[in-house]
Amino acid sequence: MVRAANPPHPLLLVTAVATVCAALPQAVLAIDLAKLYGHVGAKRGDACHPYEPFKCPGDGNCISIQYLCDGAPDCPDGYDEDSRLCTAAKRPPVEETGSFLKSLLASHGPNYLEKLFGSKARDALKPLGGVDKVAIALSESQTIEDFGAALHLMRSDLEHLRSVFMAVENGDLGMLKSLGIKDSELGDVKFFLEKLVNTGFLD
Ligand SMILES: [Ca+2]
C-alpha cells in the first residue's frame, strides 16, 4: 500500500494510518504504524508509540489518532486540525481513488477522463500532474473550487465538472451515460462522485 522506495505524500500516509487504525487489531497496528512512521520521522528509531501514532510534523510530538480533527489543536502548529488533512480524513483513501481513476483509464483509454475533468485530463492525466496528484487533490480539496485551484483547471472545465456532480446529486444518471460510462460502471462512478458530494465538495 505504501511503498518504501519513495517517501509518500504525507496525506497518503495519514489516510493509510487511518485505514489501518480502523481495520486492524491493536497488536498488528503497532507493527504497521511503527513501519509507516519510520518514513515520516526525521530519524530512524524515533517513531511514535503505537498508542500515540501521529507525529506532528512541526516538532515531532506524538499524539493519539483520536485527537486528529477533533476541533482542538494538539500539535503546537495545529497541523492535527489542518483543513486539508481533515477533509481527506472524511474522503475515500487516496489509494482507492487513484486505483479507481486508473481502472477507468485502463478500460477506456488515456483520454477518457477528459469527459469528467476537461481538456487537461488527456494522456492519463499527465497535464494535470498525473493520477496520484489528481487523487490527492480530490481527497484534500474541501470544495470543487479548491480542487480547480489546486490543479489550475480552466473555468469552463470546472463548470462542466460541477454540472456532472450536480446531475449525480440530483439522481440524474443520464448525464453519466451521455459521457460514455458503461452500465456496468455506472454504480461505481456514481458511488465515487456521491462520496465527494456527501463530504461537502459542492458546498
Ligand atoms: Ca486535535
Q: What is the pLDDT of residues 33-87, one digit of tens each?
A: 333 333 344 444 478 999 999 999 988 999 999 999 999 999 999 999 999 999 9
If you measure from the C-alpha of residue 175 to the centroid of ligand 1, how many angstroms do you get, rounded to a whole number?
40
Q: From ligand 1's centre to the CA of 84, what distance in Å? A: 14
Q: How far is the CA of 51 from the centre of ligand 1 (A)?
A: 15
Grid cell at residue 68: 486528529
Protein residues within 5 Å, CB atom, of ion ligand 1: 67, 70, 72, 74, 80
Task: Please give the distance of CA 197 from its chain centroid, rounded to a whole number.
Answer: 14
Q: Find the 166 Cα to ligand 1 centroid distance in Å.
A: 33
Distance 130 CA to ligand 1 centre (A): 32
DSSP assignment of 112-137: TTHHHH-GGGHHHHGGGT-HHHHHHH
**Can you tell me whether residue 11 is helix, strand or coil?**
helix
**Could you report the per-residue pLDDT of 89-127, keeping only the tens digit for each?**
899 899 999 999 999 999 889 999 999 999 999 999 999
The alpha carbon of 62 and the centre of ligand 1 are apart by a number of angstroms equal to: 12
- CA dist 78 and 191 (Å) reads 32
**Cβ neighbours of 32 (radius 10 Å):** 19
Q: What is the 3-state secondary structure (H, E, C) of 34-66?
A: HHHHHHHCCCCCCCCCCCCCEECCCCCCEECHH
